[in-house]
Structure 1
Amino acid sequence: MSPAPARSHRAARLAAAIAGGALLAVAVPAMASAHVTVSPDELVAGDHGVLTFAFSHGCDNSPTTALRITMPDGLASVSPTLDGDWTIDVERGDDGLVSAVTYTAISPVPTDLRGAVSMGVGLDEDTPESLAFPVEQKCVDGTTEWTQIAENGEDPHSLDAPAPVVTVAAATGTGHGEHGDAAAPAAAADSAAPEGPWGVILGTGGFVAGIAALVVSVLAYRRRV
């Protein structure tokens, strides 16, 4: 094979590889965005937070009319957020705690627009390390149940209809972390600063040594000149 055809074949293979990579780069985010997501996806045990459940699709291109979100065990409180785009229906268990929340859209959400609902949640100190929120997405035509939960060692991204999951980190014992974080720089500064008269003596000695080194350098330069 002559050099010219060989270069042509290599160029064709390179172009095909680039095109394939571009398609994959577009396809992966598209597949990921097809899920109902939750943000943030991590909270701290014993703390409070606001969870936002979002979607940017319908059921087989049918507009979304409602989201029914089931609450997992381990939540101390649930407070759905009032929103002019949704009506809210709260279900409670025998213990009085919120067991499910249904958000019904005032107008169906088109499949190419992003929709979102939110709720405040409170966690116990002994809340499990993982909280799954099964979601039933109701549409003008059809329903999609986002209820699959990954088994131990299973990649959740391999699931067809995964439930949104929030990871729960262990409490650090410093409240919300604000006081601990503020105290850390002060503690670092205190440990870095010399204590007592020895700090003054050492600092003065370093300054004198620096001046002496400068004088020696100037004199040596003048002798060379």
Structure 2
Amino acid sequence: MSRTPFRRTALAVALGAGLAIAAPAVASAHVGVTPDALAADEATVLTFSFTHGCEHSPTTALRITMPEGLASVSPTVEAGWDIAVERGDDGLVDVVTYSAATPVPTDLRGAVSMQVRPAEDAAESLAFPVEQLCESGTAEWTEIAEEGQNPHDLDAPAPVVSLVAATDSADAGDGAHAASGEAATESAQGDQSADASDAAEPLAIALGAGGLVAGIAALVVAILAYRRRSA
């Protein structure tokens, strides 16, 4: 009997498995921020995380631009990162650059944090454009969704947090102060929770799983057919 059916089946299995593994990786390729909501005129620790480099090149630095509407910014000193702060003419922090003492491999999670306090008149959402510098190349996470546009449709979305009333801050992550304390503790333990947006898109997972199941099913059918013809 010809081995062609088995070769085709093996190819189907390989493609299905590859899709199952690669699709979530592609879907999670961005810089995330936690928490995603904070209260005006209250200090909150924001953690910016990433789990990839620039086309598989290790990350050497994150350059984060501050949005308008922040009354104060205090970068967190953490082992393994050097910090440079750029200020505007008004004395407020404009840009914070975190440089890795050792480049972060593309398959490891990296995270940096800062404490921010939005002004009372800050906008309802605050975007933090991020330039990710790598040993080879850069990635600019600077796209901001327009009104009515789905942020998940963007190729390179900037991390965004929503502003809530102080009385609603408990509903937006157990309160800004609680979020601040939790983030600080997690940073000290090196166990920050991954941003929910870093999880793979459900559609990508479904496609990958479907491809793998289809490949396995094809293999089973081919084996049964071979046994019948050999009988």
Where in structure 1 do 4 or more consecutive aligned residues deviate above 4 Å? Answer: 22-28, 173-178
How many angstroms does 1:48 deviate by? 1.3
Are 1:138 and 2:138 matched, yes or no?
no
Tell me if 1:126 matches 2:126: no
Q: What's the CA shift for 1:46?
A: 1.8
SS at match of 2:167: coil
Show CA shifts across 1:107-146 (max 9, x none). 1111111100000001122111000000000000001110
More displaced stretch, 117-126 vs 89-98: 117-126
Residue aligning to 1:156: 151
Matching of residue 45 in structure 1 with residue 31 in structure 2: no
Equivalent residue letter for 2:72 = S
Say if 2:92 is the partner of 1:97: yes
Instruction: Name the CA distance, whole Å, in 1 between partners of 2:138 and 2:114.
Output: 22
The match for 1:112 among 107, 111, 131 is 107
2:72 is aligned with 1:77: yes
Is the 2:39–2:169 contact (alpha carbons within 8 Å) kept by the matching residues of 1? Answer: no
CA RMSD of aligned residues (A): 2.6
User: Normalising by structure 1, what TM-score?
Assistant: 0.65
Q: Which runs of 5+ in 2 are unaligned?
A: 1-11, 176-231
Return the alpha-carbon distance in structure 1 between the equivalents of residues 88 and 32 of structure 2.
Answer: 25
Aligned residues: 161
- SS of the counterpart of 1:38? strand
Q: Is the 8 A contact 2:38 2:169 kept in 1?
A: no
8 Å Cα contact 1:125/1:171 also seen in 2: no
CA shift at 1:28, angstroms? 5.5
Distance 2:114 2:46 in 1: 5
* Residues 33 and 55, structure 1, Cα contact 8 Å, conserved in 2: no
In structure 1, runs of 5+ residues without a counterpart are 1-15, 179-225
Superposed CA deviations along residues 38-70 of structure 1, whole A, max 9, x for unmatched, are 011111122110000000110000000000000
Q: Which residue of 1 aligns with 2:8?
A: none
Identity %: 67
Q: Tell me which of the two structures has the higher relative contact order, counting C-alpha pairs closer than 8 angstroms and 6 or more residues apart.
A: 2
